[in-house]
Structure 1
Amino acid sequence: METTGHHTLNDLFAQLGLASDDAAIDEFLIAHYLHRHEKLAAAPFWTQGQREFLEEAIRDDSDWCVAVDELDSLLRH
């Protein structure tokens, strides 16, 4: 059973259909990045479904926002 509230970065990766263990997340962060003014959901490495989920999470200020913001920050290395 999933409860609403705080979602981890691992939860977000699983929700996006990506490998969600710590090593896989580290590999993803090494392989991908965002340019200075690029919006997270506009990055070319997302599928349409992933892009829509990220856009909706921010637009609706959903309980995924903290994890999405964390991902955005980590991709700006």
Structure 2
Amino acid sequence: MQAPVHRFSDLFAQLGLAHDAASIETFLLSHSPLPQAMRLEDAPCWNPAQAALLREELRADADWAELVDQLNAALR
């Protein structure tokens, strides 16, 4: 069985954020750079549900984890 294929924009949709290319670019520019010592899920730009989703996906090494890692890198 193949793992689902998710796009970067799908992660933004999963987080309840606008997920068109322009909105993603605006979000990244508005919230970066995050301090290197700050964990992604602790960034002030997330509401509690978004932070919990990011934390859980990374903890479970779920199929979204790779995209969460990409988001982390994009915000640095």
Counterparts of 2:66 and 2:4 in 1: how far apart (Å)? 10
Runs of 5+ unmatched residues, structure 1? none
Paired residues of 1:7 and 1:66 also in contact (CA < 8 A): no
User: Paired residue for 1:18?
Assistant: 17
Two-structure CA RMSD over aligned residues (Å): 1.3
For 2:68, give the aligned amino acid: V
SS of the counterpart of 1:66?
Answer: helix
Cα offset, 1:66, TM superposition = 0.9
1:32-77, Cα deviation, whole Å (9 max, x unpaired): 021111100000110000000000000000000111000000000x
User: Paired residue for 1:45?
Assistant: 45
| Paired residues, number | 74
